[in-house]
Amino acid sequence: MGGVTGLVLVGGFGTRLRPVTYTVPKQLIPVAGRPILYHALDLLPPEVDRIVLACGYKAEVFEAYLQANPYPRPVKLVRETTPLGTGGGLKNVASEATDPFYLLNGDVIAGFDLEPLSRTLTEEGGLGILGFVEVEDPSPYGVARFDPAGRVVEFVEKPSREAAPSRWINAGVSLWRREVLEAIPPGVAVSFEREILPGLLPRKVLGMRYRAWWEDAGTPARLLNAQALLFDHPRTDRLPAPSRLDGARVLPPIAVGAGSSGEGATVGRYVTLGRNVKLRRGARVENSVVLDAAEIGPGALVKDSVLGPGVVVAPDERLVGVCRALEDPGQKA
Ligand code: GDD
Ligand code: MG
């Protein structure tokens, strides 16, 4: 089967990953050797033969990346000129939607099989079906309550911990009938989760509760957790060549981009190095993402950190739990 479109929201500012997202949009930060976006797109079942990115912030960076590093399925890019929010962003790509269509947040990774969404929506009917996952603290997410038949009867976006109706959160993957798009006003900024979804519930919205690994890569800690999850659950159909770094002490799993070097350095576990990264002798990198052309000085330590392109770490400097970039307007006086 084919002919289903996957609409993917990637237009946010990535504020919680600043300053790195001043240059690299969140979804293009590599984890386990590939951009978060590509891991997210892997979630879309094989029947999805066309992917449309709803872009806003840094659309030109997505365009250049996709051109230089094509994803295995066709990807079209649609830009919005002003940020329209998740609802407005979806409405802006409405003409691309098939019936039904998948909707995906471009920053989520998961060990989910989405095929049952389509089966359940066909069998039970309704406007759409969303994937949910249970977490310890649901307050940073969209939270649902279900009736015994699995229908969503309440949805609250980012409630306080006390007000959360359950610990089951919107995993950012869903399948919708095309008519849902008529519920979104055109040309204005709207939040799908806050302003549209609650009003759709009387028209039958289903929930699929998954018990599998999942993460939203929206903050440095969550991005690094996403990386660890992806390294620990490699896809069996597309195993990457094991990464090497000549002359370095490697603690797998790691992923190393072309042109990177690390003679006398220690790397791992859970590290992605971009292209042309230089690790000097005695440098150590652990549980981190280090982007293109960064340089880690001799004897320096980088741990639990995300470093943007071209960052230079001084000799013997210790960076633990930092998110740093060359360009950081927040640091200017
Ligand atoms: N096109 C477009 N335009 N995309 C946008 C816009 C916009 O104005 N604003 C945000 N996005 C994109 C983001 O880039 C991201 O890929 C996706 O929409 C979700 O936005 P986030 O900013 O990451 O939202 P969140 O993580 O706080 O919450 C959302 O995801 C959670 C699961 O990861 C909500 O959908 C929650 O309900 C959900 O639990
Ligand atoms: Mg998110």
Which CATH number do you get for residue 171? 3.90.550.10
Q: Which amino acid is at 18?
A: R
- CATH code of residue 281: 2.160.10.10
CA proximity to 232, closest of 39, 63, 71, 53: 39
CA of 46 to the centre of ligand 1 (A): 24
Domain interval for residue 81: 4-232
Q: Are residues 161 and 13 part of one domain?
A: yes
The per-residue pLDDT for range 157-197, each reduced to its tens digit, is 999 999 999 999 999 999 999 999 999 999 999 999 999 99
pTM of the model: 0.96
- pLDDT of 239 above 70: no
- Domain assignment present for residue 279? The answer is yes
**pLDDT tier at 244 (50, 70, 90 boundaries)?**
confident
Q: What is the residue with the minimal CA distance to atom 28 of ligand 1?
A: 141
Nearest residue CA, atom 3 of ligand 1?
11
| Sign of the C-alpha dihedral computed for residues 245, 246, 249 and 251 taken in this order | positive
> Is 105:169 a contact under the CB 8 Å cutoff?
no
Say yes or no: 218 and 260 in one domain: no
My answer on whether 177 and 275 are in the same domain is no
Atom of ligand 1 nearest to the CA of 27: 16
CA distance 263 to 267: 11
DSSP states along 42-74: TTS-TTEEEEEEEEBTBHHHHHHHHHHS--SS-
Ligand nearest to the CA of 9: 1
- Our mutation pick for probing the ligand 1 site, out of 9, 82, 190, counting the most ligand atoms within 8 A of Cβ, is 9
Instruction: Answer with the one of 232, 260, 289 that is the final residue of a domain.
Output: 232
With tokens 């690094």, the residue in question is 224
Assess if residue 192 is contained within a domain: yes
Domain boundary among 232, 261, 280: 232
Neighbours of 255 (CB within 10 A): 23
pLDDT tens-digit series, residues 200-216: 999 999 999 999 999 99
Query: How many domains are there within the chain?
Result: 2
Protein residues whose CB sits closer than 6 Å to any atom of ligand 1? 9-12, 54, 56, 80, 83-86, 89, 105-108, 141-142, 157, 169-170, 172, 193, 216, 218
For residues 147 and 254, membership in a common domain is answered with: no
Q: For residue range 22-62, list pLDDT tens digits in order.
A: 999 999 999 999 999 999 999 999 999 999 999 999 999 99
The reply to whether 183 falls in a domain is yes
Contact 123, 178 (CB under 8 A): no
